[in-house]
């Protein structure tokens, strides 16, 4: 949590930009234009929100892209457990394998089965997250291991 990026965001974006801008806009609305304190504060917050919506979108564009890629499918309705989802992954994998086996050149034959398998795997991840398993830590550990093995560019 307390990374270099976090400190830059907290002190740069929130304290310097929002704090100083908020104080200046509040001074303008309240002291110069004579708007009462509470309405001036609410107007101040609205104006800053309109501006910083775009600032935050710019700051977090890479993070927001990653979040959009995080889950590709909506969550399936119902309660699920790991055993049920494992069976679903196995079923989807077998469907994918059977449609792929004649040959990978006909993508239209197996593409739907590929996405069904991805959906089942994503559901397993959701289940594990909902049960509180350390998914992100394990993912980072695997990435670090693969970097150490020279598997990534």
pLDDT higher than 60, residue 67: no
From 22-36, 69-83, 106-120, the region with the lowest mean pLDDT: 69-83
CA distance 145 to 34: 62
pLDDT the model gives residue 66: 55
CA distance 134 to 142: 13
Q: Determine the structural domain holding residue 52 and report its residue range.
A: 4-68
Q: Quick one: 81 and 141 in the same domain?
A: yes
Domain boundary pick from 68, 86, 114: 68
Q: Taking residues 24-51, what's their average pLDDT?
A: 91
In a domain? residue 153: no
Q: Quick one: 127 and 81 in the same domain?
A: yes
Q: Quick one: 144 and 82 in the same domain?
A: yes
pLDDT higher than 60, residue 94: yes
In a domain? residue 35: yes
pLDDT higher than 60, residue 144: yes
Contact status, residue 113 vs residue 106, Cβ threshold 8 Å: no
Q: Quick one: 53 and 94 in the same domain?
A: no
Q: How many CB atoms lie within 10 A of CB 92?
A: 20
Q: Quick one: 133 and 86 in the same domain?
A: yes
Q: Quick one: 62 and 101 in the same domain?
A: no
Distances (CA, A) of 60 to 49, 64, 67: 15, 6, 10
Per the confidence metrics, is the pTM higher than 0.75?
no
Domain boundary pick from 39, 68, 97: 68
Q: What's the chain's average pLDDT?
A: 87
User: Residue 145's pLDDT band (boundaries 50, 70, 90)?
Assistant: very high
Q: Quick one: 27 and 82 in the same domain?
A: no
pLDDT the model gives residue 27: 92
Query: Going by C-beta distance under 8 Å and a sequence separation of 6 or more, which residues neighbour residue 139?
Result: none
């Amino acid at each position: 949590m307390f990374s270099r990026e976090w400190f830059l965001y907290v002190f740069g974006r929130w304290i310097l930009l929002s704090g100083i801008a908020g104080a200046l806009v509040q001074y303008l609305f309240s002291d110069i234009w004579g708007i009462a304190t509470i309405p001036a504060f609410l107007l101040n917050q609205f104006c800053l929100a309109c501006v910083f919506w775009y600032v935050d979108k710019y700051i977090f564009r890479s993070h927001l892209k990653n979040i959009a890629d995080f889950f590709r499918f909506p969550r399936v309705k119902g309660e699920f457990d790991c055993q049920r989802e494992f069976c679903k992954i196995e079923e989807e994998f077998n469907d994918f394998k059977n449609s792929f086996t004649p040959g990978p050149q006909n993508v239209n034959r197996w593409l739907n089965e590929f996405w069904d398998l991805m959906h089942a795997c994503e559901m397993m991840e959701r289940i594990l997250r909902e049960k509180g398993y350390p998914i992100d830590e394990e993912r980072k550990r695997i990435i670090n291991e693969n970097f150490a093995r020279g598997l990534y560019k």
